[in-house]
Protein backbone atom coordinates (compact mmCIF):
# COMPACT_ATOMS: atom_id res chain seq x y z
CA UNK A 1 0.00 0.00 0.00
CA UNK A 2 2.90 2.38 0.62
CA UNK A 3 6.49 2.90 -0.37
CA UNK A 4 9.39 3.41 1.96
CA UNK A 5 9.39 6.84 3.56
CA UNK A 6 12.41 8.70 2.16
CA UNK A 7 12.40 11.26 4.98
CA UNK A 8 13.24 9.06 7.96
CA UNK A 9 16.44 11.02 8.72
CA UNK A 10 14.45 14.24 8.62
CA UNK A 11 11.92 12.60 10.94
CA UNK A 12 14.65 11.69 13.41
CA UNK A 13 16.00 15.24 13.33
CA UNK A 14 12.55 16.39 14.40
CA UNK A 15 13.35 14.92 17.81
CA UNK A 16 16.01 17.58 18.36
CA UNK A 17 13.33 20.26 18.54
CA UNK A 18 10.87 18.14 20.52
CA UNK A 19 11.25 19.35 24.10
CA UNK A 20 8.89 18.49 26.90
CA UNK A 21 8.32 20.37 30.14
CA UNK A 22 7.91 18.11 33.15
CA UNK A 23 5.96 19.07 36.30
CA UNK A 24 7.44 19.54 39.75
CA UNK A 25 4.40 17.85 41.29
CA UNK A 26 5.17 14.67 39.37
CA UNK A 27 8.11 14.04 41.73
CA UNK A 28 6.34 14.62 45.06
CA UNK A 29 4.17 12.31 47.14
CA UNK A 30 0.66 12.36 45.74
CA UNK A 31 -2.53 10.37 46.00
CA UNK A 32 -6.25 10.59 45.49
CA UNK A 33 -8.91 12.56 47.32
CA UNK A 34 -9.01 9.64 49.76
CA UNK A 35 -5.39 9.76 50.83
CA UNK A 36 -1.74 10.01 49.93
CA UNK A 37 0.64 7.18 49.06
CA UNK A 38 4.15 7.80 50.37
CA UNK A 39 7.18 6.68 48.36
CA UNK A 40 10.61 6.65 49.96
CA UNK A 41 12.20 8.22 46.89
CA UNK A 42 9.65 11.00 46.39
CA UNK A 43 10.95 14.55 46.48
CA UNK A 44 10.40 16.37 49.76
CA UNK A 45 11.68 19.80 48.72
CA UNK A 46 11.96 22.00 45.66
CA UNK A 47 15.70 21.24 45.55
CA UNK A 48 14.96 17.53 45.28
CA UNK A 49 12.40 18.19 42.55
CA UNK A 50 15.02 20.06 40.54
CA UNK A 51 17.51 17.23 41.10
CA UNK A 52 15.00 14.66 39.80
CA UNK A 53 14.17 16.83 36.80
CA UNK A 54 17.88 17.11 35.99
CA UNK A 55 18.22 13.32 36.12
CA UNK A 56 15.33 12.87 33.69
CA UNK A 57 16.91 15.40 31.32
CA UNK A 58 20.33 13.73 31.61
CA UNK A 59 18.81 10.44 30.50
CA UNK A 60 16.44 11.67 27.79
CA UNK A 61 17.89 14.93 26.51
CA UNK A 62 14.36 16.26 26.06
CA UNK A 63 13.25 17.91 29.32
CA UNK A 64 15.17 21.16 29.90
CA UNK A 65 12.46 22.87 31.97
CA UNK A 66 10.21 22.13 34.94
CA UNK A 67 6.77 23.60 35.57
CA UNK A 68 6.31 25.20 38.98
CA UNK A 69 3.18 25.41 41.11
CA UNK A 70 3.22 28.66 43.05
CA UNK A 71 2.00 27.58 46.49
CA UNK A 72 3.49 24.09 46.33
CA UNK A 73 6.94 25.16 45.13
CA UNK A 74 7.07 28.83 46.14
CA UNK A 75 4.93 29.23 49.27
CA UNK A 76 6.59 32.60 49.90
CA UNK A 77 5.70 33.84 46.44
CA UNK A 78 8.23 36.05 44.69
CA UNK A 79 10.33 36.06 47.87
CA UNK A 80 11.29 32.49 46.95
CA UNK A 81 12.49 33.47 43.47
CA UNK A 82 16.14 33.75 44.49
CA UNK A 83 16.06 30.16 45.73
CA UNK A 84 14.61 28.99 42.41
CA UNK A 85 17.22 30.95 40.47
CA UNK A 86 19.95 29.28 42.50
CA UNK A 87 18.55 25.83 41.69
CA UNK A 88 18.30 26.71 38.01
CA UNK A 89 22.00 27.58 38.00
CA UNK A 90 22.94 24.46 39.94
CA UNK A 91 20.98 21.95 37.87
CA UNK A 92 20.72 23.55 34.43
CA UNK A 93 16.95 23.01 34.50
CA UNK A 94 14.97 26.13 33.56
CA UNK A 95 11.91 27.33 35.43
CA UNK A 96 9.02 26.45 33.15
CA UNK A 97 5.40 27.50 33.19
CA UNK A 98 4.12 29.13 36.36
CA UNK A 99 0.91 27.57 37.68
CA UNK A 100 -1.29 29.66 40.00
CA UNK A 101 -3.09 27.89 42.84
CA UNK A 102 -6.75 28.91 43.07
CA UNK A 103 -8.12 25.98 45.07
CA UNK A 104 -6.34 25.67 48.44
CA UNK A 105 -7.22 28.99 50.06
CA UNK A 106 -10.30 28.44 52.24
CA UNK A 107 -11.80 31.63 50.84
CA UNK A 108 -12.08 29.86 47.46
CA UNK A 109 -14.66 27.33 48.67
CA UNK A 110 -17.33 28.81 46.38
CA UNK A 111 -14.96 30.00 43.67
CA UNK A 112 -11.92 32.18 43.15
CA UNK A 113 -11.94 34.31 40.00
CA UNK A 114 -15.68 33.58 39.77
CA UNK A 115 -16.63 33.94 43.44
CA UNK A 116 -19.79 35.99 44.12
CA UNK A 117 -17.81 38.14 46.55
CA UNK A 118 -15.85 40.96 44.91
CA UNK A 119 -13.43 40.84 47.85
CA UNK A 120 -12.61 37.17 47.25
CA UNK A 121 -12.29 37.76 43.50
CA UNK A 122 -9.78 40.52 44.20
CA UNK A 123 -7.69 38.09 46.28
CA UNK A 124 -7.71 35.60 43.40
CA UNK A 125 -6.78 38.23 40.81
CA UNK A 126 -3.95 39.44 43.05
CA UNK A 127 -2.62 35.86 43.14
CA UNK A 128 -2.80 35.70 39.34
CA UNK A 129 -0.82 38.95 39.06
CA UNK A 130 1.69 37.67 41.63
CA UNK A 131 2.14 34.62 39.39
CA UNK A 132 2.80 36.92 36.43
CA UNK A 133 5.45 38.76 38.46
CA UNK A 134 7.07 35.47 39.47
CA UNK A 135 7.18 34.37 35.84
CA UNK A 136 8.76 37.68 34.83
CA UNK A 137 11.42 37.34 37.53
CA UNK A 138 12.26 33.75 36.52
CA UNK A 139 12.14 34.35 32.78
CA UNK A 140 9.17 32.05 32.29
CA UNK A 141 7.05 32.65 29.20
CA UNK A 142 3.80 30.98 30.25
CA UNK A 143 1.33 31.43 33.08
CA UNK A 144 -0.72 28.23 32.97
CA UNK A 145 -4.21 28.61 34.40
CA UNK A 146 -6.35 25.70 35.49
CA UNK A 147 -9.47 27.09 37.16
CA UNK A 148 -11.39 24.76 39.51
CA UNK A 149 -14.34 27.16 39.83
CA UNK A 150 -17.88 25.96 39.29
CA UNK A 151 -20.96 24.82 41.21
CA UNK A 152 -22.41 21.51 42.31
CA UNK A 153 -26.16 22.21 42.31
CA UNK A 154 -28.59 23.84 39.85
CA UNK A 155 -29.74 27.31 40.74
CA UNK A 156 -27.04 27.93 43.33
CA UNK A 157 -24.92 30.28 41.18
CA UNK A 158 -25.48 32.72 38.33
CA UNK A 159 -23.61 31.24 35.38
CA UNK A 160 -23.89 34.50 33.41
CA UNK A 161 -22.47 36.61 36.25
CA UNK A 162 -19.56 34.22 36.65
CA UNK A 163 -18.74 34.50 32.93
CA UNK A 164 -18.50 38.27 33.25
CA UNK A 165 -16.39 38.10 36.42
CA UNK A 166 -14.03 35.61 34.78
CA UNK A 167 -13.65 37.73 31.66
CA UNK A 168 -12.80 40.73 33.81
CA UNK A 169 -10.24 38.78 35.87
CA UNK A 170 -8.44 37.39 32.84
CA UNK A 171 -8.30 40.82 31.21
CA UNK A 172 -6.80 42.29 34.38
CA UNK A 173 -4.19 39.55 34.47
CA UNK A 174 -3.36 39.89 30.79
CA UNK A 175 -2.83 43.62 31.20
CA UNK A 176 -0.01 42.95 33.68
CA UNK A 177 1.89 40.58 31.39
CA UNK A 178 5.08 41.48 29.54
CA UNK A 179 5.13 41.45 25.76
CA UNK A 180 6.87 38.06 25.66
CA UNK A 181 4.57 36.37 28.17
CA UNK A 182 1.49 34.26 27.52
CA UNK A 183 -1.61 33.29 29.46
CA UNK A 184 -2.62 29.69 28.78
CA UNK A 185 -6.28 28.97 29.56
CA UNK A 186 -7.04 25.35 30.38
CA UNK A 187 -10.45 23.71 30.44
CA UNK A 188 -12.03 20.73 32.19
CA UNK A 189 -15.57 19.32 31.94
CA UNK A 190 -15.90 18.52 35.65
CA UNK A 191 -14.09 17.97 38.96
CA UNK A 192 -14.13 19.43 41.45
CA UNK A 193 -17.36 21.09 40.23
CA UNK A 194 -20.00 18.56 39.20
CA UNK A 195 -22.97 20.62 38.02
CA UNK A 196 -21.22 23.31 36.02
CA UNK A 197 -17.54 24.17 35.61
CA UNK A 198 -16.73 27.74 34.64
CA UNK A 199 -14.30 26.70 31.87
CA UNK A 200 -15.74 23.38 30.77
CA UNK A 201 -14.56 22.92 27.18
CA UNK A 202 -12.26 24.22 24.46
CA UNK A 203 -14.88 26.59 23.05
CA UNK A 204 -15.24 28.40 26.36
CA UNK A 205 -11.47 28.52 26.77
CA UNK A 206 -11.12 29.87 23.22
CA UNK A 207 -13.63 32.69 23.79
CA UNK A 208 -12.10 33.58 27.15
CA UNK A 209 -8.57 33.62 25.70
CA UNK A 210 -9.63 35.84 22.82
CA UNK A 211 -11.37 38.19 25.21
CA UNK A 212 -8.41 38.33 27.59
CA UNK A 213 -6.00 39.74 25.02
CA UNK A 214 -3.66 38.93 22.14
CA UNK A 215 -1.18 36.96 24.25
CA UNK A 216 -3.70 34.45 25.62
CA UNK A 217 -4.01 30.95 24.18
CA UNK A 218 -5.81 27.67 24.90
CA UNK A 219 -4.14 24.85 26.81
CA UNK A 220 -5.31 21.30 26.03
CA UNK A 221 -5.05 18.60 28.70
CA UNK A 222 -5.53 15.18 27.11
CA UNK A 223 -7.35 13.94 30.22
CA UNK A 224 -9.86 16.80 30.25
CA UNK A 225 -12.39 15.49 27.76
CA UNK A 226 -15.46 13.34 27.62
CA UNK A 227 -14.96 9.69 26.74
CA UNK A 228 -14.14 9.07 23.06
CA UNK A 229 -13.92 12.79 22.24
CA UNK A 230 -11.90 13.53 19.11
CA UNK A 231 -9.03 15.52 20.61
CA UNK A 232 -7.07 15.74 17.37
CA UNK A 233 -10.03 17.54 15.79
CA UNK A 234 -9.90 20.09 18.61
CA UNK A 235 -6.18 20.45 17.93
CA UNK A 236 -6.86 21.10 14.23
CA UNK A 237 -9.45 23.77 15.04
CA UNK A 238 -7.21 25.54 17.54
CA UNK A 239 -4.29 25.50 15.11
CA UNK A 240 -6.57 26.83 12.38
CA UNK A 241 -7.68 29.63 14.71
CA UNK A 242 -4.10 30.42 15.77
CA UNK A 243 -5.04 29.75 19.39
CA UNK A 244 -3.25 26.53 20.39
CA UNK A 245 -0.88 27.40 23.20
CA UNK A 246 0.14 24.03 24.55
CA UNK A 247 -0.61 20.63 25.97
CA UNK A 248 -0.71 18.85 29.29
CA UNK A 249 -0.02 15.24 28.39
CA UNK A 250 -1.23 12.26 30.37
CA UNK A 251 -3.60 9.34 29.80
CA UNK A 252 -6.82 8.14 31.36
CA UNK A 253 -9.24 5.24 31.40
CA UNK A 254 -12.35 7.16 32.44
CA UNK A 255 -11.88 10.71 33.67
CA UNK A 256 -8.76 12.73 34.47
CA UNK A 257 -6.71 9.83 35.78
CA UNK A 258 -3.26 11.38 35.20
CA UNK A 259 -1.87 8.05 34.02
CA UNK A 260 1.45 7.87 32.20
CA UNK A 261 1.33 8.99 28.60
CA UNK A 262 0.24 6.30 26.16
CA UNK A 263 -0.42 3.72 28.86
CA UNK A 264 -4.09 3.36 27.83
CA UNK A 265 -4.39 4.73 24.29
CA UNK A 266 -1.08 5.39 22.53
CA UNK A 267 -2.91 5.59 19.20
CA UNK A 268 -4.72 8.70 20.42
CA UNK A 269 -1.43 10.40 21.26
CA UNK A 270 -0.07 9.39 17.85
CA UNK A 271 -3.12 10.91 16.15
CA UNK A 272 -2.67 14.14 18.11
CA UNK A 273 1.02 14.30 17.22
CA UNK A 274 0.21 13.59 13.58
CA UNK A 275 -2.10 16.61 13.53
CA UNK A 276 0.35 18.86 15.36
CA UNK A 277 3.11 18.04 12.89
CA UNK A 278 1.06 19.63 10.11
CA UNK A 279 1.56 22.97 11.86
CA UNK A 280 3.68 25.67 10.26
CA UNK A 281 7.06 26.45 11.88
CA UNK A 282 5.57 29.55 13.49
CA UNK A 283 2.62 27.58 14.85
CA UNK A 284 4.93 24.84 16.13
CA UNK A 285 7.09 27.36 17.97
CA UNK A 286 4.06 28.54 19.91
CA UNK A 287 3.08 25.08 21.22
CA UNK A 288 4.31 24.21 24.71
CA UNK A 289 4.56 20.46 25.29
CA UNK A 290 4.06 19.74 28.98
CA UNK A 291 3.47 16.65 31.08
CA UNK A 292 0.80 16.84 33.77
CA UNK A 293 0.89 13.60 35.72
CA UNK A 294 0.83 12.63 39.37
CA UNK A 295 2.43 9.23 39.66
CA UNK A 296 0.59 7.77 42.63
CA UNK A 297 1.64 4.13 42.26
CA UNK A 298 4.60 4.07 39.88
CA UNK A 299 8.00 5.24 41.14
CA UNK A 300 8.24 8.96 40.41
CA UNK A 301 11.43 9.34 38.39
CA UNK A 302 10.94 6.07 36.52
CA UNK A 303 7.40 7.05 35.53
CA UNK A 304 8.61 10.42 34.25
CA UNK A 305 11.37 8.83 32.15
CA UNK A 306 8.90 6.26 30.84
CA UNK A 307 6.53 9.08 29.84
CA UNK A 308 9.21 11.05 27.99
CA UNK A 309 10.50 7.95 26.19
CA UNK A 310 6.95 7.08 25.12
CA UNK A 311 6.39 10.62 23.88
CA UNK A 312 9.59 10.46 21.83
CA UNK A 313 8.57 7.15 20.28
CA UNK A 314 5.12 8.40 19.33
CA UNK A 315 6.50 11.71 18.06
CA UNK A 316 8.93 9.86 15.79
CA UNK A 317 6.18 7.55 14.56
CA UNK A 318 4.03 10.55 13.63
CA UNK A 319 6.99 12.31 12.02
CA UNK A 320 7.61 9.21 9.90
CA UNK A 321 4.25 9.39 8.10
CA UNK A 322 4.81 9.65 4.35
CA UNK A 323 2.87 12.90 4.02
CA UNK A 324 3.07 13.27 0.24
CA UNK A 325 1.69 9.82 -0.39
CA UNK A 326 -0.95 10.21 2.30
CA UNK A 327 -2.13 13.45 0.70
CA UNK A 328 -2.50 11.66 -2.64
CA UNK A 329 -4.60 8.92 -1.06
CA UNK A 330 -6.73 11.50 0.76
CA UNK A 331 -7.30 13.50 -2.42
CA UNK A 332 -8.35 10.42 -4.38
CA UNK A 333 -10.50 9.18 -1.45
CA UNK A 334 -8.61 5.89 -1.36
CA UNK A 335 -9.75 5.18 2.17
CA UNK A 336 -8.10 1.83 2.71
CA UNK A 337 -4.72 2.92 1.35
CA UNK A 338 -4.77 6.14 3.37
CA UNK A 339 -5.67 4.41 6.61
CA UNK A 340 -3.15 1.62 6.09
CA UNK A 341 -0.37 4.13 5.46
CA UNK A 342 -1.40 6.09 8.56
CA UNK A 343 -1.67 2.98 10.75
CA UNK A 344 1.54 1.61 9.32
CA UNK A 345 3.48 4.54 10.75
CA UNK A 346 1.90 3.90 14.14
CA UNK A 347 2.71 0.19 14.15
CA UNK A 348 6.29 0.67 12.92
CA UNK A 349 9.04 -0.08 15.45
CA UNK A 350 11.03 3.15 15.69
CA UNK A 351 13.12 2.11 18.69
CA UNK A 352 16.24 1.33 16.60
CA UNK A 353 16.12 4.85 15.15
CA UNK A 354 15.62 6.30 18.62
CA UNK A 355 18.58 4.34 19.95
CA UNK A 356 20.75 5.71 17.14
CA UNK A 357 19.48 9.26 17.77
CA UNK A 358 20.31 9.02 21.47
CA UNK A 359 23.73 7.49 21.03
CA UNK A 360 24.67 10.12 18.45
CA UNK A 361 23.90 12.76 21.07
CA UNK A 362 25.71 11.08 23.95
CA UNK A 363 22.55 9.78 25.61
CA UNK A 364 21.89 6.25 26.85
CA UNK A 365 20.13 4.16 24.20
CA UNK A 366 17.70 2.83 26.85
CA UNK A 367 17.02 5.60 29.40
CA UNK A 368 14.96 3.42 31.73
CA UNK A 369 17.63 0.73 31.85
CA UNK A 370 20.29 3.38 32.42
CA UNK A 371 18.28 4.88 35.28
CA UNK A 372 17.95 1.54 37.04
CA UNK A 373 21.63 0.78 36.57
CA UNK A 374 22.80 4.20 37.77
CA UNK A 375 21.97 3.72 41.44
CA UNK A 376 20.12 7.05 41.48
CA UNK A 377 16.84 5.51 42.64
CA UNK A 378 18.43 3.68 45.55
CA UNK A 379 20.39 6.75 46.58
CA UNK A 380 17.43 9.13 46.70
CA UNK A 381 15.31 6.54 48.51
CA UNK A 382 17.96 6.23 51.22
CA UNK A 383 18.48 9.97 51.49
CA UNK A 384 14.82 10.95 51.53
CA UNK A 385 13.12 8.14 53.45
CA UNK A 386 13.56 9.79 56.84
CA UNK A 387 12.14 13.08 55.55
CA UNK A 388 8.89 11.64 54.21
CA UNK A 389 5.87 13.08 55.96
CA UNK A 390 2.31 14.08 55.22
CA UNK A 391 2.86 17.52 53.72
CA UNK A 392 -0.61 17.94 52.19
CA UNK A 393 -1.83 16.70 48.85
CA UNK A 394 0.64 17.25 45.99
CA UNK A 395 2.89 19.57 48.02
Q: Is the predicted pLDDT of residue 10 greater than 90, yes or no?
A: no
pLDDT at 7: 53
CB count in 10 Å sphere of residue 216:
25
pLDDT of 389: 61
Q: What is the pLDDT of residue 2?
A: 44
pLDDT in tens, 34-81: 888 899 999 999 999 999 999 999 999 999 999 999 999 999 999 999
Spacing of C-alpha 218 from chain mean position:
12
pLDDT of residue 14: 83
Q: How far is CA 335 from CA 2, 127, 328, 338, in A?
A: 13, 52, 11, 5
pLDDT, tens digit, for every residue of 88-139?
A: 999 999 999 999 999 999 999 999 999 999 999 999 999 999 999 999 999 9
Phi and psi, residue 311, nearest 5°:
-60, -40
Domain limits, the chain:
8-387
Q: What is the pLDDT of residue 306?
A: 98
Nearest CA to 147 out of 161, 128, 164 is that of 128
End-to-end CA distance of the chain: 52
Round to whole Å and give the CA distance between 186 and 208: 10
| Cβ contact 368:306 at 8 Å | yes
* Distance, CA of 272 to CA of 278 (rounded, Å): 10
Q: Is the pLDDT of residue 331 over 80?
A: yes
pLDDT cut 90: percent of the chain above it: 89
Q: What is the CATH number of domain 8-387?
A: 3.20.20.150
Residues 250-260, mean pLDDT to the nearest whole number: 91
User: pLDDT per residue over 185-227, tens digit each?
Assistant: 999 999 999 999 999 999 999 999 999 999 999 999 999 999 8
Amino acid sequence: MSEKNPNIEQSMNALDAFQIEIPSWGFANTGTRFGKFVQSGAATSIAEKFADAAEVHRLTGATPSMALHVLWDMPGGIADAARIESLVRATGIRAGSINPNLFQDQRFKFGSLCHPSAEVRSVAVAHMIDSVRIAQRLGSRDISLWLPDGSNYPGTQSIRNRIAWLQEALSETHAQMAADQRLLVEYKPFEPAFYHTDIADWGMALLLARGAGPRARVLVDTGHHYAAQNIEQIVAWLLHAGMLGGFHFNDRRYADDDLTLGSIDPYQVFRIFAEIQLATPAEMASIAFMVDQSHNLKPKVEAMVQTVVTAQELWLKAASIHREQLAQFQQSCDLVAAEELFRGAFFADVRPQLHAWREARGLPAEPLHALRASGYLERIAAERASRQMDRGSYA
